A and B are shown apart, each in its own frame.
Chain A
């Protein structure tokens, strides 16, 4: 019931949105719809893990062995909550942005929310694939229509990349399906598969899945679409892309790859981990060089996601817990950063750090809020990311699945230091120092922006101080996944 509502509300709201012929009312409508989804998501949290309301299963394609099966487990709860929280935040934060034919913009945003919810809720492989693609299509139109100058090429690159990945994944899904004894796409049958397919097959199947997920996250060297896409998309869409959509990749690995192909995951774990840490160091170094704020955050995101992916392959309970909580944290933190960047860009008309400076004198409230978000980005204690990254690191360090755990931990640690370098450098160059002609006229933030940024800061601090409810929410999922991953032939 609840999962169906989570998909249906944004879907219906989005379809209805196309019929508004007025941007203002469409904007109000989409905020209302997204708040409604948030309420449903909170309701889902409140009913308890055993409630029958959390699952739904209806006939869809009996001939193919696929059912419309959706359900909320701990991981689903966290990611749906992230999706449900993010959209109202995004709508409020970009409330003053004007879009040509805005009703289409808001409708497509809601449709992408429906797709994302579907990905996180699907308990059937074909359904998962369906939503995986559906989340992409609205974003394609959003970026190509309302993005920056080079939007068409950038979005197209992004689309082709992810489309290739998802088609490879489709092959793997069909292959696995044809090997299920009961010819079914259900997640249960897929989890049973490891008894039926040998290690040799898992070795190549792993890559069919992993390429799809690695493109989405993105993992080096498949990341090249990302900085361009982030830079060229309208900020609201960039928030969706970076805050939520990249989680699809991590989520995919945790739900559909690691437990289904434990041997393949174990065998390629070191290779994948190596790609992750190369990407982390590389992205951090590139981030230090950036002058454009959007590109800086884009590269920093690659580094953070790399760490989470690394922790998945470590196959430890604490690491996996870290991934769960960090998926949420990274989502809200990066959305916070984008909000600030959007504010700066709209006021100053530039994203170049070299042209900014001294904003703290003119916009003290913005500066305080940004500093907190930025500190969360470098995982300072008392912020949410500290909890997450601490767990991630302890998970990687104590990993038994790899013999290189110490190397991985140390190199990943270096990337965190680098992240402090570029984040603090950014704060310094944008907010402190002397004002120049451009920043002289800066004004402080308006109420709506203050509200969302304050909300994000509250979340950052609350989760940072008291992460227990979050951790206990995902504990069952984590234990289940780790048990399945530890399966050996």
Chain B
């Protein structure tokens, strides 16, 4: 509860702080302060101090899985703001910085609803609170046609999927014996599942699949990610996606775990298609930004493996995956924003001019590819192990690793460009603080990759006691 209220309040504060000051650095510091507050508030929630004793009538349920997910999301946002917050000022001359930050906080509010929802209505509201600020942020580069197009496309497609979601929820409501939205009661006693129930479930699957850009509902992703200002692409592709994924897992784990046998095949097919399309299309991209958009689809495919298996390992794993993926992708985007040229050629010879940038970027890319010693390895390990533990879908596991091998191709193209090709990659001016933070993020990834136990121990205890 702490997180939801603090993020909403701080969003409003940020919005009005624009009246007091329009100085970027002050606003940025305010945002950082807000995020620290959020992290603390969330942590206190986790250990049992609740600032706001509101009776939520079981609409929300604050378990450690959701709260832990919040911690990861807020932590990633903090790193994101510290690394790329400065870029928000550079988007467009007339875009008020304060409002951008306010919108980010509203998104976080939505995410914390999605990670802790207990009825489908709350899920719906959470998803909407996430989506609407994102439409604005996507179009925030007002004079740029690509940005406008992206925002419109995102809005239309997003509204459509929201409609599907509502329909699904309505059907589920109708199918339930007692007329309830609560995910505790929906799935219970459904030995003979009605067609109503199954169609509702599938509609929800499609709607959520759209939000996490699972194929074949991914068509908006490359255009929106490419068109949106890079700094917000970074936010959407990591924090938002991870947050929605947590909700996705929560929904299927709590509500539909009894009927797993009926939807598993659908999820398996969606996963396979997502992995295939994401990875294969990423190979053909010429722009690193677009490649990252497709890579985010591919990574979503891997995260869908957790949805497929829905067990202890999967829940632990999705948290680790969210952390590993967000950290690495935020890092790469932070570097990408500093580049003058977003194509692969633009990275040629970066290692010569900016060794720190190139070295940290390499670690991020290795992590995304899932090479041992990095956090990405254990993230992928968990996903694979979760599916193997179910004892089925071995073909999918093999398919997934073949796709992971394909992903090496496009991630390593950036490494090759940076290290082995000659050229003079142009980067904008870099502050020492920025480089230092990049090194910290890289170190964090390596730490998670060598001693994931530091995090896992906590996860293990928390997820299993839940």
Contact = CB atoms under 8 A, between A and B. Distances in A.
Interface of A: 60-64, 129-130, 133-134, 137, 141, 144-145, 151-152, 156, 159-160, 163-164, 167-168, 170-171, 174-175, 177-178
Given A163-B405, A171-B384, A144 B420 contact: yes
Interface in B390-427: 394, 397-398, 401-402, 404-405, 408-409, 412, 416, 419-421
Contacts of A163: 405, 408
Contacts of B397: 171
Contacts of A174: 381, 384-385, 388
A137 B385 contact: no
Given A63-B460, A134-B373, A167 B404 contact: yes
A160 B405 contact: yes
Given A159-B408, A174-B385, 9 more contacts: A61-B456, A130-B373, A137-B366, A137-B371, A144-B419, A164-B405, A171-B394, A171-B397, A177-B385
B412 A159 contact: yes
B416 A152 contact: yes
A122 B9 CA distance: 53
A130 B456 CA distance: 18
B419 A171 contact: no
A167 B377 CA distance: 11
A167 B401 contact: yes
Contacts of B460: 63
Interface of B: 366, 371-373, 381, 384-385, 388-389, 394, 397-398, 401-402, 404-405, 408-409, 412, 416, 419-421, 452-453, 456-457, 460
Given A167-B404, A171-B401, A178 B452 contact: no
A152 B412 CA distance: 11
Given A156-B412, A156-B416, A159-B412, A61 B389 contact: no
A177 B398 CA distance: 17
13 contacts: A62-B453, A63-B460, A129-B372, A134-B373, A151-B420, A152-B416, A152-B420, A156-B409, A160-B409, A163-B408, A168-B401, A170-B381, A174-B385
A331 to B, nearest CB: 25
B405 A167 contact: yes
Contact of B416 (A130, A133, A137, A144): A144
Contacts of B408: 159-160, 163
Contacts of A160: 405, 408-409
A160 B413 CA distance: 12
Given A63-B457, A164-B402, A145 B388 contact: no
Contacts of B452: 61
Contacts of A61: 452-453, 456
Contact of A133 (B371, B401, B419): B371
A320 B348 CA distance: 49
B372 A134 contact: yes
Nearest to B369: A163
A362 B283 CA distance: 52
Nearest to A129: B372
Nearest to B406: A160
A358 to B, nearest CB: 38
Contacts of B389: 178
A166 B154 CA distance: 39
Nearest to A164: B405
A182 to B, nearest CB: 15
Q: Which 6 A-B pairs have the closest CB atoms?
A: A167-B401, A133-B372, A164-B405, A130-B372, A63-B460, A174-B385
Contacts of A133: 371-373
Nearest to A66: B453
A307 to B, nearest CB: 30
B401 A170 contact: yes
A178 B404 contact: no
B64 to A, nearest CB: 16
B41 to A, nearest CB: 28
Contacts of B420: 144-145, 151-152
A63 B416 contact: no
A164 B453 CA distance: 27
A466 to B, nearest CB: 41
A178 B372 contact: no
B404 to A, nearest CB: 6
Nearest to A151: B420
Contacts of A144: 416, 419-420
A64 B460 CA distance: 10
A99 to B, nearest CB: 14
A120 to B, nearest CB: 17
A311 to B, nearest CB: 30
Nearest to A143: B420
A60 B453 contact: yes
A145 B384 CA distance: 33
Nearest to A60: B453
A129 B457 CA distance: 22
Contacts of B385: 174, 177-178
A163 B372 CA distance: 11
Nearest to B316: A63
A403 B419 CA distance: 53
B197 to A, nearest CB: 32
Given A63-B460, A160-B409, A171 B372 contact: no
Nearest to A204: B394
A168 B404 CA distance: 11
A186 to B, nearest CB: 17
A63 B412 contact: no
A63 B320 CA distance: 14
A144 B394 CA distance: 34
A141 B419 contact: yes
Contact of B398 (A137, A159, A171): A171
A159 B420 CA distance: 15
A38 to B, nearest CB: 26
A170 B384 contact: yes
A145 B457 CA distance: 39
A141 B420 CA distance: 9
A166 B421 CA distance: 27
A167 B398 CA distance: 9
A49 to B, nearest CB: 31
Contact of B388 (A137, A141, A178): A178
A164 B398 CA distance: 10
A171 B388 contact: yes
A45 to B, nearest CB: 30
Contacts of B419: 141, 144-145
Contacts of B409: 156, 160
A151 B416 CA distance: 11
Contacts of A175: 388, 394
A441 to B, nearest CB: 33
A204 to B, nearest CB: 9
Contacts of A141: 419
A177 B384 CA distance: 12
B114 to A, nearest CB: 27
A134 B374 CA distance: 11
Contacts of A63: 453, 456-457, 460
